[in-house]
Structures are given as C-alpha cells and as structure tokens.
Structure 1
Amino acid sequence: MAESETTEPSRSRPSLVVVAGAGGARQGESNVAPSRAAAQVSFDRRELNLLFNLYGTKVAAGEWRDYALDFTPAKAVFSIFRRTSEAPLYRIEKNPELGRRQGAYAVIAASGLVMKRGHDLSRVLRVLDRGLRLVGAE
C-alpha cells in the first residue's frame, strides 16, 4: 500500500514558482508596481457616457473626427480632434486636486483658454454643445 501512494501523482495544488526576468526584483523586493496605478485618475462610466454622447453628436454633425484619452496620476484628459494629425480642438480635463476650489472639470480650447470650469461635468460640457439659435423677429 505504501508503494501505490508514492507512485500516484499528488492531488494537492502545485506550488507557484516565480521566475524573475531581466529586470526582475532583487531578493526581498516585490515585482508589484507601487500603488500609483490605483491612484491614477480616470473617468467613471457616467462621465464617459456624457463625453461619448457629446462626441457622437458632433461626429454625426461632421465637426469632430477623432478623440484621445490620457490618464495620469494627476488628471484625466479627453482630447477632441478635427483631424487626427492636428492638435486637439478641445481638452476636457478632470483634475481632482481642483475639485474643492474651482471644480474638477475644465474645457480648454486649443489656444489654452479655459472656456468653462466647474464641479458638474454635464454643465461644463454645455459650453461645447451650444448650437446656433434662431432669434425670432416680431
């Protein structure tokens, strides 16, 4: 009976073997990146929904053609382009450090002019959604 126990494969879980690559951690160090990734600023689902609804409307109107998303530890940026090869027409930034003062959200024009800043993204985006209005003659 002891013979059959030694020839059967073990049914326990295999042990985890970590192999360090060329830039592997030294003994006592961790391969896990610092907690910066967890602290990275990003847009949540509600904010992305507002951004992409506006973007889709402007693409359908033929005004915008491309966008870019940038996420850094300090802020998240949604850039809007008329053409891919150009500088962005507008940048919509989320900067949580300004949340209690001026507002976390800002719409910035290509020239660097802050067009609108505030605490509510939907209100800040209205500066881009304004269309031509017909003034009625009496």
Structure 2
Amino acid sequence: MSEPSYFVSFWLRKILVPVDGSENSLRALDLAVDFGMRYGSRVTIVHVCGDCNNAEDIKSIIEKRINNRIEYNMKILKVNMKESSIANEILKILNEEPYDAIIMGARGTSVNSEINIGSTALALSINAPVTVILVR
C-alpha cells in the first residue's frame, strides 16, 4: 500500500468561515477546524453584522467550539445593512485577500426553516471566485 496523499491540502490552504451563530454555521466551523487539524489549513472566521450587539456572544461560542484545537483569525465586520449586504461584504474580503475556499452554513438565522439554502449562501455559491462548501 502506498503512503497517504494530502493533495487536497493544496486546495484548502486558506479557508474563510462566515459564522452567524446558527447551528449550520457552527457545523461549517467544525469542518474548517477539522481541515485545519488534518491538513494545516489556515482558518479565518468572519462575523458580519449590522448592529453587532451579539458579537461577543458569537466570539465566545466560537472559542468554546474550537477549544484551542487550531490557531485561527477572527474578524468582526460591522456593516450598514442599508448600503450593503453580508454576501457583498464577504465577496469584498475574498477580493482583498487570497482564500482557497469558503466553508459556510447552507442557511443561517432566517426564520423560515423550510428554506434549504439561504440568500447569503446562494449569493456566495454563485459569485465567489473560490470553492464554496455548504454545510447542512
């Protein structure tokens, strides 16, 4: 038998993970952490918010979820939602910094649980210039 190959690690060197506090976004974070542990991927977590009232709570949830398993960068981006959107702000990040992939929840904190894919996930899966992994 041959030695294991980590070819996939070249595809996922730098990963962006948008987290809104939803269970899907936290499962996406778990997957990114796993890639970080297995392949040495560098993980950047971004929380885009309008009022950012719950930013510290989100940060605490993330710290507990990661539990010092990997090193990561955290960005909290406050945005005027009348002038932009979460998807637009994440696309700006992708244009400013070289990422290999986005790992995100298929739907976030929207009220309607019958929707399989949220507007942010849909916009990013269509417009992002990198691999997008949607987690359900």
Q: TM-score scaled by structure 1?
A: 0.32
Q: TM-score scaled by structure 2?
A: 0.32
The structure that has the greater radius of gyration is 1
Say which structure is richer in helix.
2
Which has the higher relative contact order, 1 or 2, with Cα contacts under 8 A spaced 6 or more apart?
2
